[in-house]
Chains A and B, each alone.
Chain A
Amino acid sequence: MARLHAEEMVLNMGPQHPSTHGVLRLKLRTDGEIVSHIEPVIGYLHRCFEKHGENIEYPMVTPFTDRCDYLASMNNAHGYAMAVEKLMDIELPERVEYLRIIFAEFQRIASHLVAVGAFGLDVGAITPFLYCFRERESILDLFEMASGARLLYNYVWIGGLAHDIPPGFVEKAYEFLDYFDERIREYDRILTGNKIFIERSADVGVMPAEVAINYGVTGPCLRASGVNHDLRRAQPYSIYDRFEFDTVVGKGEMGTVGDCWDRYNVRVLEMAQSARIIRQALEQLPTEGDVKSAVPKKIRPPKGEIYSRSENPRGELGYYIISDGSSVPFRLKMRSPAFCNLSVINEIGAGWMISDVIAILGSLDIVLGEIDR
């Protein structure tokens, strides 16, 4: 009997596809439902961030860093500001540091909310997504209160902040945190513990620690694989050494360590940890201090270069800046975590079904603005 001639089909997922989280294109080689090879094609959202950065002055770069990872603008601007501050040796006022931490952690919660909700959406649960967005809106309200914008804040400046927080902000922040603890339990009830959800995500797309490290995966994805590496702990930048919090590590409660469920659950638990950090920061927040006192009049870093890294909701965000002594960076390189996280997709996604590839992609939590820059 002649062997049945079977060919693999190349399936273009994206750039217009509901679950590619932006304009990502995945070239899937499929054998029926089974995907044998995944090739991400990126660049649809390329906006020349790095080249642009070589043409504008240092403070003008901040709004563009916001636009790279638009779900974590505060963290991005924080990382960039830290890099330039290190280059210029700026000592920041206490209040600025605390406010930066508060906003960074709020942004982490907001970003994880999108990740958690969108992962639910990817596996077919629509309702948790809207619950997550409801909470995210409350956080955006806080951001709007402080900075005047809801998505792209340009709030963290080199050497300070754009504004001080308005009166009533701290109370509202506490109010939100009290409300938010309840909500995390609600996500657990509707999604985390849901049997169908567990079936869809547990044991799917297992990323062993070795693979994660080899591919340079960072952030919640790395921690879900059981590697206890969080820059906030491993190399405490800003004032993270003053807070008590646990780095959440995937334990494989529902399946194997490093599966989609772990990556999801690490984010859920990290939100609670972020809330914990915010509470401590709000308690310790100095009442006095001008948030702009350290903002330099002319930002003209001395000749030299710097690599500064920080923990973004997606992983390790690095900025490499070469200064030639002028007010414009000579070279600006951004190490974007989602870019490196996406590179592992073929390794962990090949061999699974189309539905699983969607789930794996969702659990990696990529933002195309940051991948393509």
Chain B
Amino acid sequence: MGYFKNIGDSITTLITGMKVTMGYFVRAKEHVTLQYPDEKWPNPERNIGVGELDTYNVIRSKLHVDIDDCIGCKKCERACPVNCITIDTLKTDKGEDIGTTKLGTQKRLLVTRFTIDMTECMYCDLCTFPCPEECIYMTPDYRFERGDNKEVQVTNVERWRDRNNLIYEYSTVPKTEVDRRLQIIADAEAVKAAALEKARVAAEASATATPKPAENREITPGSGEEQAHE
């Protein structure tokens, strides 16, 4: 009897299944397809979501920096698990005013390089929370193909990796300005070194003294390479 029961079961259950698919076939208007370029998911507003309840839901599609608000504190660089953010800063001259952020903080460092390597970024959002100025945040802009990023000064290793032109440069400081400041620093250091040398010679002549090593961490051009070798 099991034989015929099997056949009967097969027929009934198969027809049950066919009813489901036919139901959907008839109600083809219930489709869930989104015709992408014509229709899009709703885009949430820009926000970084520290605090207020109604403003934090942001789709994490691209990392963005409001560079005018950046104070160059490098907290985001340290928070990044994959080291996709590279920041170089230069000290400003004494008394020089390079503006304030939107939260009213006086900027003290000139951000000469702020690159985000979107080939490395894993959209974890960990960099946005430490930012004291709320200037680094995720945007819902998922269209990377437009190539609207600026020409980036990157090392050869980075350029090799960045075949899709996805290293985004946010710093707006022109190259000439950077060079000028570097020159000033170099000059100052040269003067300092000369003074130190003089002092050393003078000290040698009199007693023992140790010259201090020059402070030049901020302008190391090789920082990108260190990152790439990880």
Contacts and interface: CB of A to CB of B under 8 A. Distances in A.
Interface of A: 56, 59-64, 67, 127, 134, 137, 144-146, 148-149, 152, 154, 162-164, 166-167, 186, 189-191, 193-196, 198
B144 interface: no
Contact of A189 (B20, B124, B126): B20
Given A148-B60, A166-B56, 12 more contacts: A60-B81, A60-B126, A64-B81, A127-B21, A148-B57, A148-B59, A149-B60, A149-B123, A152-B122, A154-B124, A190-B17, A194-B14
Interface residues of B, number: 28
Given A64-B81, A134-B32, A166-B56, A195 B10 contact: yes
A interface secondary structure, majority: helix
A56 B9 contact: no
Interface in B122-157: 122-126, 129, 138
30 contacts: A56-B81, A60-B79, A63-B122, A63-B124, A63-B126, A64-B81, A137-B32, A144-B59, A148-B58, A148-B138, A149-B125, A154-B124, A154-B125, A154-B126, A164-B53, A164-B56, A166-B53, A166-B56, A167-B53, A167-B54, A186-B20, A189-B16, A189-B20, A190-B16, A190-B17, A190-B21, A191-B17, A193-B13, A195-B13, A195-B14
Interface string B51-89: 001101111100000000000000000010100000000
Contacts of B19: 189
B224 interface: no
A189 B49 contact: no
B60 A195 contact: no
Contact of A166 (B54, B123, B126): B54
A144 B56 CA distance: 12
B13 A63 contact: no
Contact of B10 (A62, A162, A196): A196
A62 B122 CA distance: 12
Contacts of B58: 148
Interface string B13-34: 1101101110000000000100
A113 to B, nearest CB: 14
Nearest to B9: A195
